[in-house]
Structure 1
């Protein structure tokens, strides 16, 4: 039950991005950025008060930085040429967050995974590898989404169904992978130890 609560809470980290996606249509990108920023800051405050470490709030912190920048641009220049590409920019930023965390050898999923796994496995190579793979899957999904959305928004800016489909698929696939992959690795590890 604790694992389910932690997973649900972890996916709440994406709430600022989801709210932005819903609100930031057309001229409303300013209010979407502001709403995303308020929610991201709210999540950070709640998480810090509940004792979470910063490594458990990478997505929320990344959202706060993104929405500060986006809000500043959107209020300074509401008709910025970046506005139509908001969905692609979100995914490009998230891709930078994921791949950047891998580059510094601190996959963004590590902090979240530590809250669900026993402390004795935190420093094992297998634990790191599982999180590196999961983070790479998220990073790849974000890159794919950014590219597809940039192309779609450039070629067919009113293809709302296609944009939504890209957003949903590129979020659901890594989410399902995140839930299933650790179980698969654990089962293989148990089987290998049983054989040995």
Structure 2
């Protein structure tokens, strides 16, 4: 259960943006500002690291400038797609570069002698791919919500939340499952 909350804390800027930035331009501006401040603070405190930190800085910095500085309505309209798309792109990029973003967090729980173990890296590629897939599907759902294709806004949001919560639960469960399976041998 602690692992689940650590995952949630690592996404605090994104979650704060998701919760705050609703229903009005003022709330979107506050949400962007809070998320950018949290991203920078968590980076300075080393609670947030790797490419996901830089994706957050780039996204929240760029979106804050576009929305608050330039009152850019296109960015405002597409924020959901852009946010999820940025996370998806960042996660897929870490896999392509051979440094899945979950490695930065997994290393806290594993002996340093295992950090370069191919099995440890494969496990993190899988976990990062699950996150990247969740972000990709969430970007598609955000597009559906924006264009109001088939579901209500709430329907799209509930599906997106369920996917992200399921992904966080999987991320907390899977390493423990592997440890138990290894111990049972």
TM-score normalised over the length of structure 1: 0.82
Corresponding residue number in structure 1 for 2:179:
186
Deviations 1:92-136 (A, max 9, x none): 110011001111000000011001111222111110011000000
1:57-96 residue pairs with structure 2 within 5 A? 57-96=50-89
Contact 1:13 1:59 in 2 (8 A): no
- Offset, 1:71: 0.6
Compare 88-97 and 129-138 and name the one that shifted more: 88-97
List gaps (5 residues or longer) in structure 1. none
Contact 1:141 1:174 in 2 (8 A): yes
Contact 2:7 2:168 in 1 (8 A): no
Runs of 4+ in 1 over 6 A off after TM superposition: none
Quote the Cα distance in structure 2 between the aligned partners of 1:174 and 1:188.
21
1:7-156 residue pairs with structure 2 within 5 A? 8-25=5-22, 26-28=24-26, 29-47=28-46, 56-155=49-148
TM-score normalised over the length of structure 2: 0.87
**What is the number of equivalent residue pairs in this alignment?**
183
List gaps (5 residues or longer) in structure 2. none
Q: 1:105 to 1:189 in 2, by over 3 A?
A: same
Q: 1:145 to 1:131 in 2, by over 3 A?
A: same
Deviations 1:79-104 (A, max 9, x none): 51231221222111100110011110
Deviations 1:14-63 (A, max 9, x none): 1111111122223132222111101111111122xxxx7x8x44323321
Contact 2:4 2:168 in 1 (8 A): no
- Offset, 1:190: 4.3
